Structure 1
Amino acid sequence: MELFTREWGSGDRRAVLVHGAMSDSRNWRTVGPALAERGYHVVAVDLRGHGHSPRAESYTAELFAQDVVDTVPAHPELVLGHSLGGLTVSLAVERLRPQRAIYVDPAFSGPALTRWQRMLAPAFLRNLTRASAARIAKRNPRWDPADVAIEVETFKAFDPAVIPVLITPGSLRAPEQMHVPSLVVLADKSQLVKPALADRLEEAGFEVRIVRGSGHTVNRDDFPGFMTALDGWI
């Protein structure tokens, strides 16, 4: 599937940005221009079932990855993915063959859930997509109001049929090896990359950095801290 894209800059270097679940390319509204100022031509996608990209009959992590490969230029200098986008990048990286990859609090595992919580998760996530701006702002007190407004819109555009990908055991998994030089930027007390997994990634060659005090959407919680975490990689 060819995805909707949003672009910033016209530099010689290319960067590909992949958002997380229930979001879209506007998640990168501050990151895209910042990379453009550093000489990148930035391409950010809307994954299938998100934003302005089409909904689909099927959703799997592998299909998300194939869509990205089919949409963006090969061999970018940088590819960066957040959450589900991080998982997507990890499955696409061998075909995209970027010079560097950055994973932002990637969905390499799911939060620890009891069987009962797993049963309730689809209803919880569907209810989350109906959240008001006031509720989103309360849950994310550090966000700019523009990001809160965008979140309301992206929740409405999100296809709930994606939800099984997010909660099915085995759907979320960390890469076994590093294919290109890679940085993992984690939220403080990440629920998706716990310390033991972070240690395993470091043993495999990944560099791991934590943005202290940030939540899951690191770039929206602490944009300066996020950009500092990218030092040496962009």
Structure 2
Amino acid sequence: MVKNHYKLLGEENPETSPLVLMIHGAAGDMHHYETVTPALIEKGYRVLLMDVRYHGLSQLQENENVDPETTTWTFEDVLQDIDTMLDKVKKKYYEKTNEITLFVAGLSMGGVTTLLYAEKRAKEEKQGIKLAGIIPIASAIPHLEITREGWSFYAERKATLELLEWSKSSIIASSITPEGQEETRRAMQLISNHSLYECLVAIGSMLPNPSDPPMPYSAVNVPTFLIFPDKDPLTKPEMDLFYELCKEQKVDVEKIVIKDAGHMVILDQGPQVGNHIATFVERVLSKD
């Protein structure tokens, strides 16, 4: 069993204030949001950070008789981890509140998780949780059929160790600042090659190539805010397409491009990301 590590920030703010759950990317950890969260807490919101399983401090418990090289990593497990965590947080920190107004934000893999969480909540409500908005950040779009380079190698488990090492180097280089690259490298040391490989396989499995005839894409009708950096050529076209699909399907959607930032935009321009998320949350709440 994995010991899930999480932290609630802004506990000094009222229980009735919105809760913003922030999910890091593959090979990252919760510390990647350190410069993002202050703007949200100053606005009076609470922030919930987590280390996704096998990342950061969310590792197998010491008494588990499990070979770490045989563990699996699935989005289904991560979504269950989130629900379990929210149950614990609600019980511990929300004694006087019947319902938490929840916003979910995620970078890259965390963005995929965010979109999958919205799909799950659209199919089944969670008692005591109201999903008020989602914020995918520099994210691929699960189930969206487009041509993508390289992901089929992971989806089909054909990726080699050399490709994995290239992927790790690419993740580090996806921050355009030396400080961001060093922070990315630090977090990467906390996840094993096996776990990262399984994580990338799960991501690749969510990113289909075009079929014939193409499958229609249906967006979840929840307020959506897309954040993507100007120096990330891979996710920007995909998120632009997703934005147009959301508009066509009458989803309440907006987008912002962050300048002078790479894929690891939360490290390159964290305060700016935090301010934009705070503005989005405030706008959604003002409509209720």
Bin of the TM-score, shorter chain as denominator length: 0.7 to 0.9
* Equivalent residue in structure 1 for 2:140, among 93, 107, 110: 107
**SS state of the match for residue 16, structure 1?**
strand
User: Aligned residue for 1:191?
Assistant: 234
Distance in 1 separating the partners of 2:174 and 2:116: 31
Q: Which amino acid aligns with 1:19?
A: H
Matches within 5 A, 1:1-234: 3-10=4-11, 11-12=13-14, 13=17, 14-55=19-60, 57-72=71-86, 73=89, 75-93=100-118, 94=121, 95=126, 96-108=129-141, 112-113=148-149, 119-120=158-159, 123-129=162-168, 136=172, 140-142=175-177, 145=179, 147-158=180-191, 159-160=195-196, 161-168=198-205, 170=207, 176-188=218-230, 189-192=232-235, 193-204=238-249, 205=251, 206-230=253-277, 232-234=279-281
**SS state of the match for residue 107, structure 1?**
coil
**SS state of the match for residue 208, structure 1?**
strand
Q: Which amino acid aligns with 1:207?
A: E
Asked whether the 8 Å contact 1:20–1:82 carries over to 2, the reply is: yes
The CA deviation at 1:224 is 4.5
The CA deviation at 1:190 is 4.4
TM-score by length of 1: 0.79
Asked whether the 8 Å contact 1:142–1:222 carries over to 2, the reply is: no
TM-score by length of 2: 0.66
Distance in 2 separating the partners of 1:60 and 1:9: 30
Asked whether the 8 Å contact 2:243–2:254 carries over to 1, the reply is: no
Gaps of 5+ in 2: 61-67, 91-99, 210-215, 282-288
Gaps of 5+ in 1: none
Distance in 2 separating the partners of 1:101 and 1:123: 35
Asked whether the 8 Å contact 1:15–1:42 carries over to 2, the reply is: yes
RMSD: 3.2
1:50-75 per-position Cα deviation (integer Å, ceiling 9, x unaligned): 11102572212222222112112473
Number of residues of Structure 1 aligned to a counterpart in Structure 2: 226
The CA deviation at 1:20 is 1.0
- When structure 1 is superposed on structure 2, of 177-186 and 12-21 the one drifting more is 177-186
The CA deviation at 1:111 is 7.4
Distance 1:43 1:167, change over 3 A: same
Distance 1:196 1:42, change over 3 A: closer
Percent of aligned pairs with the same amino acid: 19
Higher relative contact order, chain-length normalized (CA < 8 Å, sep 6+):
2
**SS state of the match for residue 136, structure 2?**
strand
Distance 1:51 1:231, change over 3 A: closer
